[in-house]
Structure 1
Amino acid sequence: MALSGMRGLSVFISDIRNCQNKEQERLRVDKELGKVRTRFKNEKGLAPYEKKKYVWKMLYIYMLGYDVDFGHMEAVSLISAPKYPEKQVGYIVTSCLLNENHDFLRLAINTVRNDIIGRNETFQCLALTLVGNIGGREFAESLAPDVQKILISSSCRPLVRKKAALCLLRLFRKNPDVVNVDGWSDRMAQLLDERDLGVLTSSMSLFVSLVSNNYDAYWSCLPKCVKTLERLARNQDIPQEYTYYGIPSPWLQVKTMRALQYFPVIEDPSSRRSLFEVLQRILMGTDVVKNVNKNNASHAVLFEALSLVMHLDAEKEMMSQCVALLGKFIAVREPNIRYLGLENMSRMLMVTDVQDIIKRHQAQIITSLKDPDISIRRRALDLLYGMCDVSNAKDIVEELLQYLSTAEFVIREELSLKAAILAEKFAPDLSWYVDVILQLIDKAGDFVSDDIWFRVVQFVTNNEDLQPYAAVKVKEYLDKPAIHETMVKVGAYILGEYSHLLASRPGFSPREIFNLIHEKLPTVSISTIPILLSSYAKILMHTQPPDPELQNQIWMIFRKYESCIDVEIQQRAVEYFELSKKGAALMDILAEMPKFTERQSALIKKAEDTESDTAEQSAIKMRTQQQASNALVVTDQPPVAGTVPVSQLGLVKIPSTSNTDRPGDQELTHTNGVLTIVDPQPLDSSADLLGDLLGPLAIEGPPDNGSTSEHKMMSPHEGIPSEDALAIATVGEQPNSVQPIGNIAERFSILCLKDSGVLYEDPYIQIGIKAEWRAHQGRLLLYMGNKNTAPLVSVQALTLSPSHLKIERSLVPDTIPPRAQVQCPLEIINLRPSRDVAVLDFSYKFSSHVVNVRLRLPAVLNKFLQPISLNGEEFFLQWRSLSGPPLKLQEVVRGVKPMQLNDMANIFNSFNVMVLPGLDPNPNNLVASTTFYSETTRAMLALVRIETDPADRTQLRMTVASGDPALTFELKEFIKEQLISIPSIPRAPEPTPTQPPQVDLSDPGALLAGLM
């Protein structure tokens, strides 16, 4: 942009560049915006030069990332200026500041049309560029015929025509009816004969969009595309400016090959032969070089050519050549090339003839499974899964099992599922299949779904020859000192049913089997106890002649559980106790389980359903899930009878359980919760300075892409995908035989305000925290100290992170030695505003005690707030600029603990929201400000106003404003939670508002017992 003669603009840009920090820049921008707003509002007769200068400033401020919500009319009005400098500014700024649905654009349609049909080529290019960037349906209906005339005109220069092609592409995407299919087939063929590569490239972009919508009308264009590829491949008549690192117009080559893939398989021998010659030239001429830019261009052409080869169902010789080329790529050092090679090999697997050729690269693919880049490991896993068959299943599954021990938690579930499916589909014998599944459960029990162990039990039940072998194998695993609960389920079921087949072997007597299973009882959850009770009943049935001592021992267990609060356990205990008194009749009642009905494996069906989804459908599904809001609105209403009250909730993925001892016969259940949104009534308040600025405000729900959402009652499962087994579960104290020392919720509340302290403690372990927070990043150090003279074993710490936090952590050792302490650093990045909390799923074993707790981590909203001091002018300037929902929300809060205004100010300061005394003219009110940091918003100013009623301190009216709708809503709800939950939250000492405390993490320290 030309700045000559615009001294004011040059000075403003210089001031911005000289700012020492973000706050200085923001204040300078706010000052300039106020000045521009005043000039636009008060001076009606602005000269075009002055208006141009201020509009340039608006654009520069917008490019810095600030919201510019005024001056749009002035920018649009410059489009109709007669001179180029003002018209250029109008077009550029309008294209950047407005979108296709903006009302002001309608005012400019006629001016834009006049420029398009005019004779001034410069004005034509400006107008076409504007429409190509922000044109909507109204532009399409009004301007499409004129744009089409320019595109097919022989009198217009190529510069204008190529802009017209891209402009028509935009209008076609907004309204496909603007292009008449019947009339455009011949015209499109003429455009593809164009010699100018600029016009041809733009026309090819338009052609790709047209054939993706309807290819039948454009068969006459197909030979033109082949000729274009031949011209490019042979480098015939290609100007130097369209050659990129020796490659003739790689973008045009990619577009042309993509257009050909929308047609069915080409049957014409001449076109097919010419096309394969071009593809052969591309395959032979592509190699990896040192120049990254050339690699990117040549590989873009190559991989599009590979897609076209697969689409055309080429001969096996060419397919083999493609696989050999990809085999070179997966062996190079550059990770991006390896990734693309693996991904395209996976796509090649759709062509069954090349599966044997891909197997030759199995060793290199397995090597990629150990690559430092997790995305490459995922692609290698997908490829191994796809290329597996009977001949190589054993090797691949063994590699997957070996990799399972070191794989990250994010990939273990997928890895376990695929290993289980391959073992079932391609097992050389069933005993090997049993071995694989038991190894899976042993190495990654937390990531083995119920469907996997259900399936192995079905195989064992249906195959009599397999039953003794399975009983021996599960006993070997149950003999280990520490095993996963899923292994207990499998072992108890199989030994209860089939251990009597091996009664003559040492270690398989009924008493020994009972003792082996019964020692696991104190360590299992409620969902496993019914399976153990069934096993006891089976053991009692198979004990012939009866063993009175064993019988009395089992009867005592049944009597113990006759009064259990769980209905399933209670019923089984009562019924098994009564049945066991029937003597020989028990043999008929508790006979062996009948064979399962042969049916398709649930695992294979799940895999087939996944594979049938296209990549596009998967991407759409993922985007939909990401856009769903996770915010939970908790009211102070009493819970409905029979439901679980929602309080301090986190969205946690929990494996569902089923209380059946016959796997696969019952559906999984979810934990229920009640979510309610209540619209409070406004307080009666006399008009005041701040109230006049607010005007009428609605109380808004969580924003979605900047728009407000309607309030509605939500059912317990609404928005929760059952196939992902998501449940809303309380976190904190869990039912364990080992009781924690101190209140977990109080410890968490203290750490929300402090940066060091004890998160959890019980007789065996203490978990302390030290944290440091800077802007949108944080470093949280967990200290796990063993308080005893014996080691803690089977230690696991899994971080369950909400979608708004990116958490990276190091692995926790499996064993913590006596009187030792280990550290687990967590690197946290805040992506956007949210009140959801991360959860640490922590478990360990000490002697016979197995402890599992879910602990909320204090990476909460206020950790990403920094207090900021504003004077009256700065505060009111920002307050006025944020007008109405969703940027400014107001709510009446009831049930607040009565307190003096000074106490409330101390509370705000404690979570980094600085109270600004003296700004509100009403002495019963207070205003505050803070800066929120996240990766998406960076530094975002937020303002708060609290209006109290001296006659009733239990209610107040709160107004929160910021430049981000999500931040406004989340901060409002966060403050409300703090004010309502004050009685149960012990507050930490007040930090200094202007200088948040910093923590030195270089000193790990000893156990944190003295930090409380």
Structure 2
Amino acid sequence: MTGIRGLSVFISDIRNCQNKEQERLRVDKELGNIRTCFKNEKVLTPYKKKKYVWKMLYIYVLGYDVDFGHMEPVSLISAPKYPEKQVGYIVTSCLLNENHDFLRLAINMVRNDIIGRNETFQCLALTLVGNIGGREFAESLAPDVQKLIISSSCRPLVRKKAVLCLLRLFRKNQDVVNVDGWADRMAQLLDERDLGVLTSAMSLLVALVSNNHEAYRSCLSKCVKILERLARNQDVPQEYTYYGIPSPWLQVKTMRALQYFPTIEDPSTRRSIFEVLQRILMGTDVVKNVNKNNASHAVLFEALSLVMHLDAEKEMMSQCVALLGKFISVREPNIRYLGLENMTRMLMVTDVQDIIKKHQAQIVTSLKDPDISIRRRALDLLYGMCDVSNAKDIVEELLQYLSTSEFAMREELSLKAAILAEKFAPDLSWYVDVILQLIDKAGDFVSDDIWFRVVQFVTNNEDLQPYAAAKAREYLDKPAIHETMVKVSAYILGEYGHLLARRPGCNPRDMFSIIQEKLPTVSISTIPILLSTYAKILMHCRPPDLELQNQIWTVFKKYESCIDVEIQQRAVEYFELSKKGAALADVLAEMPKFPERQSSLIKKAEDAEDTADQSAIKLRAQQQPSNALVLADPQPVNGRPPPVKVPSMSGSLDNELAAQPHSHPNGTLSKLEPQAPSADLLNDLLGPLAIEAPPGGMPTDDDHDTIGAEGILDTAIVPVGEQTHTVEPIGNIAERFHALCLKDSGVLYEDPYIQIGVKAEWRGHHGRLVLFLGNKSTSPLTSVHALILPPVHLKMELSLVPETIPPRAQVQCPVEVMNIRPSRDVAVLDFSYKFGTNMVSVKLRLPAVLTKFLQPIQLTAEEFFPQWRSLSGPPLKLQEVIRGVRQFPLPEMANMFNNFRVTICPGLDPNPNNLVASTTFYSESTRAMLCLVRVETDPADRTQLRITVASEDPTLTFELKEYIKEQLIVVPSGRAPTPALPAPVPGPVAQPLSPAVAENDPGALLTGLL
């Protein structure tokens, strides 16, 4: 290259460019020059062609597309001289891939070099095939490559490259290596004295025995001899000794190959290999030299894996655990990580579990390590080593750590603590205490499965019911508790609160009062549970308390006109039932016991575990049966637990707690049983143990009580290529998108073959989405392709998506998001895959919408009005009368704004028909920007209202106003029709707002400024 003047000048010009634009112009100019020269073949001398091909490679290495001239480097492969041939092979290897059409033209040229007598040309050809050879190369060249390997006339340099080349061809087409004819030759190849050839041969052996270990049984003893040779440092050249360690790469590959064979039975062979392993265990320590540490520990940890595979004696196992115990206490984080990971694998060996427990204190210390990866491994190890003897200590440590852990680990922590408490609880009251503490400390990260299990345990154990009810009553006394705690406490008190009637503060009126205080703070999905609790309280109130009855009836009447069908139905039916007096007790009788089933939590954890790394936990799950008295269905509907069913309604609660409903023998109220939905692969495959993503609970496809505008993109399945029949999506794609606009986890798309879930975390103007691609079928999904098409206001970066998703597996693809400026435009995921002969392509909107970059903030009158006054008139303050608004009560509208992360500020407007709200918007251009909103409704005509939005950025004001407007007037397609509401009660008609400003009246001031 140094002798090519034009190339040197071009590289110098590129290095002297002041910015990227100058570099682009210089590259475009050069590409144009190269294209012109390639067209004029008469003046294209071999020297010029070589120069231009080198320039093409340099441009390609810089990251620019080179979409022409590919035939030129291919043609240089056939050149008779080394300089041109070298350029042809190198550039072809870099510019082309195994599926490129031009590469097929080079097969014969490459074969001529392989079977030729020039060793240099042979090495060039073997290197090309070893890097980019495909199936066609395998079928054409494999016999010639095999001849080079067994040839006695070839030098080790050529044979080494030939072995690696055959490895590439075998991976592309396993039929090229005939087992009957190659097994003996493979054994002979392991007698090679040259360590370069031997290392390459061992790489080939690992691939061969992973596919068929029985055929290569004769190689086993040869591998043991190679290990002995290396362990004793016999006949190991200096160039293969790395920091005093004889060929660590060959040692690792040899021990890996031995792990593919079944356990060695021959006493002599076992004795020989254990002597080698003992030498490795005794001779490895932590030193200051990082490079030596890396090499020696690579050999050590592979030796540990081989010790476990061979089922060594307990003494050697104990030695391995002691060595790992020393590693998890060193300062070097990489060594601590490997120590914890390998100690977790050692849990597969039953005899050493008690020895591992001796290191429990150090493992707990690692749970507080600054490195999250080490904390995760420590959590896995604590989870795997837990049993009846240490469960209490470990669970208490996990609960203590839960308060300080980062969001990314809380969901996994919660699930594992719940499973351990269930499996190894010394008594059920302790189990209830643990789960309630779990919900109290990490409610956002506790899945519904966990509180379902508490209800099942309490229902099936009469002795536990008073205790559980008392604990639930205690938690309700707290001023602020999570909504999940409200659900479980309300349910337990509804069923068993009457058992506490003689305790102070536990009479029906007190329980209704404390639950009613929580009602304004909960979401729509929780209200049905509270209404059922009220009905149960009314049923257990004997003698009847008329004042309490009137209070509960008032709540029922309030929700009789609720827009949510489930809430409306419950309110109407409970109100009518409560008029029947004693008959209510027959209808709302206590729930019967659940049948014994396998724990859905344990199943969920097992489904999420990685087979290789978590096999110890699975083995222990088989060895130690659960202490659970209530077990979940082994094949739950939609991956959910069994029912905790209020025997009166259909709808949201039954769907949340869905499975096989109980029917009470005295029940008179008809029950609409929910149909079993399609298999929810996201819950089956994407359990919290597998998630290294932002928090927010597992993505589920329920709770579609969302409202939002129809998007601008039509997301429909499009048949592509050789598709033979249409693949229809499961569920409404638009509905799923709108649901994810209001929450941070759920299912984005599903069809018979794949399910795409989303989990998200938003902080300021940054966000992180994780796409979970789950293969629902028993066949692999191939040709998987995902491309994000972001709008101009978002910067989005998608991590690498694998081309193949194995059967019943899932992959996680993080997406980093940064908001540049306010806009309602949405990003699009262009996703496609192939299943059999079906090529499926779909474009999906991603829920990185405007409201995700809002941060709720509640302002007082002293904070709100100065800001409101300072923003006077368009374009900073925009006002619009909106007609055609969906009819729903003001509290529902307020709840909708809260879901948008726009916080209602109560008491700022004296008119009860108006809403005042505030929020903070984050983007790279605006940073933190305060937004103020006022909504004025007309009680006489709920189909119209006036909205005012104000901020310091005109674009933000307009975009937020339009977004809210879209949510108010558009009903997502596919939603159930809104039930008819009773006619509004006549009231005062909203009068035109006066421009006058009354400084002493905040309401008048607000009106005047509008």
Shift of 1:517: 1.1
Alignment of 1:346-365 (within 5 A): 346-365=344-363
2:612 is aligned with 1:580: no
Indicate how the Cα distance of structure 1 residues 718 and 24 shifts in structure 2: closer, same or farther if over 3 A, else same. farther
Work out which of the residue numbers 137, 145, 148 in structure 2 matches 1:147: 145
User: Counterpart in 2 of 1:881?
Assistant: none
1:500-548 CA-partner distances (Å, limit 9, x unpaired): 2121111111111111111111111222122112211221122222212
Distance 2:379 2:295 in 1: 27
Q: Which residue of 2 aligns with 1:334?
A: 332
Tell me how far apart the structure 2 counterparts of residues 478 and 545 of structure 1 sit (CA, whole Å): 25
Could you say if the C-alpha distance between residues 663 and 842 of structure 1 is closer, same or farther in structure 2, counting changes exceeding 3 Å? farther
User: Superposed, which structure 2 residues align to 1:606-755 within 5 Å?
Assistant: 606-611=604-609, 613-614=611-612, 658-659=653-654, 670=702, 715=729, 717=731, 728-729=738-739, 731=741
Letter in 2 for 1:510: P
Shift of 1:852: 4.0
2:98 aligns with 100
Of 190, 193, 198, the match for 1:192: 190
The equivalent residue for 2:997 is: none
- 1:516 paired to 2:514: yes
> What's the CA shift for 1:578?
2.3
Contact map agreement 1:802 1:836 (CA 8 A) in 2: no
Deviation at 1:84, TM superposition (A): 0.7
Alignment match of 2:366 (pick from 365, 368, 381): 368
3-state SS, counterpart of residue 80 of structure 2:
coil
Q: 2:815 aligns with which of 793, 800, 804?
A: 804
Q: CA deviation at 1:676?
A: 9.6
Following the alignment from structure 1 to structure 2, what is the Cα–Cα distance between the partners of residues 244 and 30? 46
Structure 1: distance between partners of 2:794 and 2:557: 58
Q: Deviations over 1:655-694 (max 9, x none)?
A: x9635697765778536799997799xxxxxxxxxxxxxx
In 2, Cα distance between the equivalents of 1:776 and 1:489? 37
In structure 2, the residue corresponding to 1:805 is in which secondary structure? strand
Alpha-carbon deviations, 1:581-604, whole Å to 9, x = none?
A: 222333333222222222222112
User: What is the alpha-carbon distance in structure 2 between the residues aligned to residue 191 and residue 120 of structure 1?
Assistant: 23
Report the equivalent of 2:210.
Answer: 212
Report if the CA contact (8 A) 2:856-2:901 is conserved. Answer: no
Aligned to 2:135: 137
Structure 1 residues 610 and 837 mapped into 2: Cα distance closer, same or farther (>3 Å)?
closer
Distance in 1 (alpha carbons) for counterparts of 2:378 and 2:35 = 57
The change in CA–CA distance for 1:82 and 1:726 in structure 2 (over 3 A counts) is: same
1:229 is displaced (CA, Å) by 0.4
Counterpart in the other structure of 1:49: 47
The equivalences for 1:887-898 within 5 A come to none
Say if 1:732 and 1:854, in contact at 8 Å, map to a contact too. yes
Distance 1:718 1:438 in 2: 36
Q: Is the 8 A contact 1:454 1:663 kept in 2?
A: no
How far apart are residue 563 of structure 1 and its match? 2.5
**What value does the CA root-mean-square deviation take over the aligned residues?**
4.1
* Structure 2 gap ranges (5+): 616-650, 662-673, 677-699, 745-763, 767-791, 798-811, 820-827, 832-844, 861-890, 903-919, 928-953, 968-1005
Question: Which residue of structure 2 lines up, in the alignment, with residue 3 of structure 1?
Answer: 2
Q: How does 1:467-616 map to 2 (within 5 A)?
A: 467-611=465-609, 613-614=611-612
Residue pair 2:497, 2:506 contacting (<8 A) in 1 also: yes
Mapped contact 2:458–2:468 kept (Cα < 8 A): yes
* Residue identity matched to 1:853: N
SS in 2 for 1:731: helix
Q: Counterparts of 2:815 and 2:926 in 1: how far apart (Å)?
A: 14
Q: What is the CA-CA distance between 1:335 and the residue it aligns to?
A: 1.2
Are the aligned partners of 1:189 and 1:221 in contact in 2 as well (CA < 8 Å)? yes
> Contact conserved, 1:843 with 1:853, CA < 8 A, in 2?
no
Provide the C-alpha distance between the structure 1 equivalents of 2:736 and 2:370, rounded to a whole number of angstroms. Answer: 30
**TM-score between the two structures when normalised by the length of structure 1:** 0.67
- Aligned AA for 1:658? L
Q: 1:495 to 1:374 in 2, by over 3 A?
A: same
Q: 1:404 aligns with which of 386, 402, 405?
A: 402
CA distance in 2, matches of 1:32, 1:169: 39
Distance 2:386 2:818 in 1: 34
Residues 159-199 of structure 1: per-residue CA shift (max 9 Å, x gap): 11101101111111111111111111111111100000011
> How far off its partner does 1:846 sit?
9.7
TM normalised by structure 2 equals: 0.67
Counterpart of 1:16 (choices 14, 17, 29) is 14
Deviation at 1:262, TM superposition (A): 0.8
After superposition, the Cα gap between the structure-2 partners of 1:20 and 1:95, relative to the gap in structure 1 and judged at 3 Å, is same
Structure 1: unaligned runs, 5 residues or longer: 618-655, 681-699, 735-753, 757-771, 778-800, 809-829, 865-909, 912-976, 986-1008
Query: In 1, Cα distance between the equivalents of 2:614 and 2:161?
Result: 29
Check 1:437–1:127 CA distance in 2 against 1; reply closer, same or farther (3 A cut).
Answer: same
Q: Does the 8 Å contact 1:568/1:659 carry over to 2?
A: no
Task: Say whether residues 1:314 and 2:309 are aligned partners.
Answer: no
Query: Offset of 1:73 from its aligned partner?
Result: 0.8
**The residue matched to 1:804 in structure 2 has which SS?**
strand
Q: Is the Cα–Cα contact under 8 Å of residues 855 and 921 in structure 2 kept in the other structure?
A: no
Rounded to whole Å, the distance in 2 between the matches of 1:863 and 1:164 is 60
Using the alignment, how far apart are the partners of 2:736 and 2:147 within structure 1? 56
Task: Tell me which residue corresponds to 2:971.
Answer: none
Residues 677 and 712 of structure 1 are in contact (CA less than 8 Å); yes or no, is this contact kept in structure 2? no
Query: Any conservation in 1 of the 2:525–2:653 contact (CA below 8 Å)?
Result: yes
Match of 2:434 among 425, 433, 436: 436
Q: Distance in 2 between matches of 1:198 and 1:669?
A: 55
- State the one-letter code of the partner of 2:586: D
**Cα contact 1:79–1:111 (8 A) shared by 2:** yes
Say whether the 8 Å CA contact 1:286–1:299 is kept in structure 2: yes
SS of the aligned residue for 1:82 comes to coil
- Flag the 1:335–1:710 CA change in 2: closer, same or farther, 3 A: farther
Asked if 1 retains the 8 angstrom alpha-carbon contact of 2:53 and 2:91, the reply is yes
Q: CA 1:701–1:835 in structure 2 vs 1: closer, same or farther (change >3 Å)?
A: farther
Query: 1:127 matched to which residue of 2?
Result: 125
Whole-Å Cα distance in 2 between the matches of residues 593 and 219 of structure 1? Answer: 62
1:212-234 deviation digits (Å, cap 9, x = unpaired): 11111111111000000000011
Structure 1 residue 180 and structure 2 residue 181: aligned?
A: no
1:853 to 899, 902, 908: 899
User: Does the C-alpha gap of structure 1 residues 27 and 267 become closer, same or farther in structure 2, counting only changes over 3 Å?
Assistant: same
Task: State the one-letter code of the partner of 2:485.
Answer: M
The aligned counterpart of 1:256 is 254
For the residues of structure 2 that align with 1:238 and 1:831, how far apart are their CA atoms?
55
Alpha-carbon shift at residue 416 of structure 1 (Å): 0.6
Three-state SS of the structure 1 residue aligned to 2:449 is helix
From the superposition, tell whether residues 340 and 439 of structure 1 become closer, same or farther in structure 2 (CA, over 3 Å).
Answer: same
CA distance in 2, matches of 1:984, 1:578: 38
Amino acid across the alignment from 2:182 = W
Mapped partners of 1:659, 1:524: distance in 2: 18
1:576-628 deviation per Cα after TM superposition (whole angstroms, max 9, x unaligned):
222222223333332222222222221122123334745699xxxxxxxxxxx
SS class of match (1:262): coil
1:113–1:143: 8 Å Cα contact kept in structure 2?
A: yes
Change (3 A) 1:49 1:709: farther
Secondary structure in structure 2 of the residue aligned to 1:235: coil
Q: Using the alignment, how far apart are the partners of 1:566 and 1:191 within structure 2?
A: 74
Contact 1:528–1:659 (8 Å) recurs in 2: no
1:802/1:837 contact within 8 Å kept: no
Moved more, 421-430 or 501-510: 501-510
| Percent of paired sites with the same residue | 76
Contact preservation (8 Å) 2:227, 2:251: yes
1:13-70 residue CA offsets vs partner (Å, 9 max, x unmatched): 1111111222221211111111111111124341111111111111111111111111
Structure 1 counterpart of 2:96, one-letter code: L
* Alpha-carbon distance in structure 1 between the residues aligned to 2:715 and 2:350: 60
